Structure 1
C-alpha cells in the first residue's frame, strides 16, 4: 500500500508540475512574449485566458480517460495521460514567440495548453481510484490523500525551478530563454513517472466488476447528473482559492505592488509546503470524523478568510503575505485532503472513474479557469486593496458550502459485533 501510494504521489506531482509551470509562466512572462500588442493588463488577461483553456479541456479529458478507466481499467489511464501531458509541456517550451511567427505563436500555445488539460483531466481520476480502491476502508481517506499531496509537490518543484532561474538570470535572459527550461525539464520527469507506474497492479475493485458500463458518460448523465453538478459546485471554492493564491496573486503583486518575483515565489512556495505537509493529518481526521464535516469546515473557513487574505496581500510585506496565503491554503486543504476518498465513494464502481473525474474537473472550470481572469479584472478597477476579489472568492465559498451541505456522508461505518445471547 505504501509503495502504491508513493507511486501515485510521484505521478500526480509530475503531472501537476507540468500544469503549474504554465500558470507561473502565464503570470510572469507569457503576456509580453505572446501578446506584445496588448497593454500590460490586457496581455496578462490574455495569458490567463490560455491558462484557463487547460481547465476547459480537463472535463473533456475526464470523459475520454474516464471511459478508458471504467471499461479497461484504472492503470492504463495513468500511463497514457502522463505521456500526453509530458509531451505537450515539453512542446510549450519550444514554441516561438509572437516576434518570430506572429499570431501562430499564441495559437500554438492554446493548442498545447488544451492537450495539457486533456491529459491532466484523466490523471487525477486514475491515480486517486487506483489508491482508493486498494486502500482498507477504515484508512481510505489517509491513503487516498497521498495523490493529493502530489499537486503541492509539483507546485513547489515547478516554482522552485523558476525561482532558481529567476535568482540566477537577468531579466533579459529569463525572458529570452530561461522561462523555457522548466518546460523542457518535464520530459525527464515524465520518464521517471512512467518507470514508477510500470509495475503498479490494477485496482482489485475494478477486477471485481462483472457488468462494465458500455458508455459510462451516458450512464453518469442519466443517473448521476445531480451528483456531478453538486460535486462541481462544491469543489469550485478549492480551485478558486488555490489559483487566487498561486497564480493571480503572483501577477498582481509583481505588476501592481512592485514586489519582486523572487519574494513572491518564496512566499507562495512556503505556504504550499505547509499545505502539503498538512494533507495526510487532515485526511486522517476525515477517516475519524467523516468527509463531509471537514469539507463544510474548510468552506466556512475560506468564506471567513478571503477578505483578510487580500488585505494582507495588499501590504506587500513578505511575512504578512505569507500569513494570508497560509490561512487560505489551510482552509483549502481541509476540504481537498478528503476529496480523493469522498468523490469515489459517492459514485458506484462501474462509472466511478468517469463520474468522480468529471465532477472534479468541472469544479476546476468554475473555480480555476475563471478566477485569475476575474480577479485581475476586479483588481484593476479597485484601489490599493482589491476588496472586489475578496467578495468574489467569498461568494464562491458560500456557493460551495451550500453544495457540500446537500451531499451525503460516505465514511464507512465499522461493523459492530453482535452481543452474545444471554440466558
Structure 2
C-alpha cells in the first residue's frame, strides 16, 4: 500500500475514531488539552509506522494503545515532581499491562462525558458548540468556520481559548448530574444536531453527504434517550435524526451524485429507521401530553419534536404528490413561531409552494428579502430557482441556480445546481 493511500486511510480512521479516542483519554488523564495532544501524537506515530507495517486489524485499539503509552511516559517523566502523577502513572501502567485495549470498553460513556465537558458552563455558548464540534464531531477548523460563516483564525482562537478556560476553571472532567446536567442538555442537543446536519448535507468538500457523521449523531441520540428518558425534546431529536437518516441511501446515486426528494426511490428508505423514528416521536408526544396534564413543565411541542413531526409526514407518504404539504406548512408555521428562525420560514416557503402553488411560496420568499441572517445562504436562491422553474420561468430559474452554485462550498451540490441551471435555461 502506497504512502498516499495509507495517509488517506489514516485520515479516515481518525474521522471514525477520534471522538472515542479523545473521550477515553480524557477519562484517563483528566485533561482535555493533554488528551487531544496524546491522540494527535498517536496519529503521528501511525503516519510514521503504518506505511511500512500496514494498517492494523483494529486501528482504533492501536491508536488507543499508542496514546496510552505516551500518557504513561509523560506521567513517569513528571513522577519526580509530582507524587500524585507517579501514582497515576503506576495505575495506568498496570491497566495497560493487563489489557492493551483498555479504554475502549466504555465508549458510550466516554463520548457523552466528553460532550458534557465541552458544554461546561464556564464556556460561552459559542465556545461550547465550537469545542464540541472539534473534539466530539471531529470537524476541521475550516468546516466549523464554514458552518459559522466565520474566519478560520477566529475559530482556531475560539478552540484554544475554550481549552484554556476549562483548564483555568479547574473544570471537573466528569459527566454532570442533576440540575447541572439539565442546564447543559440544551447545548448538547444542539451540538448533536449540528453534527447530524454536517453529515446529512456536508458544507464543503467532494462528498454530498458524510453518513458516518449521521450515524454517530444517531447513535449519540439513542444514548441520550436512555440517559434522559423523560425529556420530550431528547426523544424528538432522536426521532428527527432517525427519520432523516432513513433517506441517506436514496439521496445519492451510484456515483455519489445528489438525488433530490422528487426523484428518490422511496423503496430505498430505511424502514427500520423509520419505525424507530416514529416510535421515538410517539414517545415524545406522550411526554408532551403528560406535561400538559400536569406531569411536568408545559409548553407544547418543542422545536425538535416539531421537526420530527415534519419528517414523519414525509416518511409516511408514498410519494411527493401524496405528501400532506398543507400539514407540513402548518408545522413549519408552528416551528417558526417557536424559534423565530428565518431558515424555518424559508422551508415554509417550499411547503407553501407545494401546497398552494409556487406563487404562494414566492410571496413568502419575497418577505424574507433583506433578512441579514440569510445573507450568503445558498438555499435562498436555490429555493427561488425551484419556484421559478415550477412557474415555467426558466431563464430566471437558471440565474438563481447559478447564484446558488456560486455560494456553496460543496462540490457535488455546486455541480447539481449548475446542471439544474442548464436544464432550466434549455426549457426556457
State the TM-score, normalized to the length of structure 2: 0.29
**Looking at CA atoms only, which structure, 1 or 2, has the larger radius of gyration?**
2
With a CA cutoff of 8 Å and minimum separation of 6, indicate the structure with the bigger relative contact order.
1
- Higher normalized helix content (fraction of residues): 1
